Amino acid sequence: MIAIPYLTALTTYFSYGLLFAFGQFRDFFRKIFDWCSANNLQGYAPICLGLEDFYIRRLYLRIQDCFGRPIASAPDAWFDVVERHSNDNNKTLKRTDKISRCLNLGSYNYLGFAAADEYCTPRVVDTLKKYSPSTCSTRVDGGTTVLHLELEECVANFVGKPAAIVFGMGYVTNSAILPVLMGKGSLIISDSLNHNSIVNGARGSGATIRVFQHNEPSHLEEVLREQIAEGQPRTHRPWKKIMVVVEGIYSMEGELCKLPEVIAVCKKYKVGNYGSSIAYTYLDEAHSIGAVGKSGRGVCELLGVDTADVDIMMGTFTKSFGSCGGYIAGSKDLIQHLKYACPAHLYATSISPPAAQQIISSIRVILGEDGSNRGAQKLAQIRENSNFFRSELQKMGFEVLGDNDSPVMPIMLYNPAKIPAFSRECLKQNVAVVTVAFPATPLLLARARICISAAHSREDLIKALQVISRVGDLVGIKYFPAEPTKQQQGGKSVKFD
């Protein structure tokens, strides 16, 4: 849990209250003017109505230039950001012909495969010529190529499971799988900070949902014990199934899941102890697979957890593998059931063949099957870069969330005025960052999310630290006392201004 300084919380509430009050004041006069003017849609309910519409018009549009910035190159360590301008106070943004070359601290390009690669790219190009960009069909019709079968076998071997199934979109992997596995009479116990795809998948399943405090196995056990004892609502019959859903690395916190403790809790409540209730584990490794672990096999490898203890392993190919789509890995019976019942497999177009080849090739590089040690070098580099960058940010006095080895590191901003200020000032100095605010985070907990890549050189990171330090001083987000600002690098003393 994040402990917000009292003064920071007070000023943040005041800022949002001020924005809300002025927004309501302007809306009051807007209604008067709309009432006075002719309206051809009288009697029709407005499509956009309520607090969501108010938030978009009065808060989001003011700073929308900080979001959705178009790029004009591959998302490598450096990329081209297209400049935009507005003539109507940010209500609409128009692209210009100007391009800024920026240091990329926002993309999920953890291992650097999103740019051209000496091993992957030629094979992807050959696959594009052979298979075309799309299969134009579902997997059960004409959309299964030998590449899809090879990919599923490759993924299963990589994560250490008997079988796997792949999908064309990572978000859908969660939101479409959970309703297939869980239903009425089932119980989903979800971490309070799980991704929106998990939230929507759980809601769509029709199962009962209970939430445990973020990354707190002790509270998970309390919830699990209570729910097993009480059973289903009204009837108090035993649950048909219980699923505990966690993430390997939480995308907005950069924290590693306490997986060994979670597994221990779930093992404690397996069949035989409490009737027919079974606590299955569902692990979302979207941000951890490929990025952590000695050989890139995710949090199970990093934390010493046997993959046999995790019932369902989910991951995406959009982060560490430079491609698109997602996967589910588990027992052969589970995967066969999903192939028969999952709508994302039955009705959605299969993953693009060039994208499938990119994943296969990148996994081969990670495992050293390309005949080089570049995969091991990338894994060592992402770990070194992440720990170096996190350590330096903390020394400067920033409040940085997350754990060591995690390539995701949020810098807390809190105040709504500091969201656009930090983003715009960094962009002026050619550093592209991602800022995140409500509703993606709680109202008080706005942040800048830094994503580190193995493609970043030490010089890139030092430049980023210098810029972020200057902007942090300007914006006022160094909430802790700074440590001495000297870092030995290559026998030289480097000062972060």
Confidence class for position 261, pLDDT limits 50, 70, 90: very high
Closest CA to 248 of 196, 305, 189: 305
Q: Which amino acid is at 203?
A: R
Closest CA to 403 of 420, 414, 391: 391
What is the spatial distance between Cα 90 and Cα 443, in angstroms, rounded to a whole number?
A: 22
pTM, to two decimals: 0.91
Confidence class for position 488, pLDDT limits 50, 70, 90: very low
Closest CA to 286 of 172, 181, 170: 170
Task: Look at residue 39 in the predicted model and tell me its pLDDT.
Answer: 56
Q: Which CATH class, in words, describes the domain spanning 7-12+49-104+376-475?
A: alpha beta
Dump pLDDT digits (tens) for 147-189: 999 999 999 999 999 999 999 999 999 999 999 999 999 999 9
Higher-confidence residue of 497 and 316: namely 316
What is the spatial distance between Cα 166 and Cα 318, in angstroms, rounded to a whole number?
A: 13
Domain ranges in the chain with CATH number 3.90.1150.10: 7-12+49-104+376-475
Average pLDDT value for the chain:
91
Domain ranges in the chain with CATH number 3.40.640.10: 119-367
Task: Look at residue 493 in the predicted model and tell me its pLDDT.
Answer: 43
Q: For residue 282, is pLDDT > 60?
A: yes
Between 31-35, 112-116, 352-356, 430-434, the lowest mean confidence (pLDDT) is in 31-35
Dump pLDDT digits (tens) for 27-56: 888 777 766 665 555 667 777 777 888 888
Confidence class for position 5, pLDDT limits 50, 70, 90: confident
CATH number given to 119-367: 3.40.640.10
Q: What percent of the chain has pLDDT over 70?
A: 94
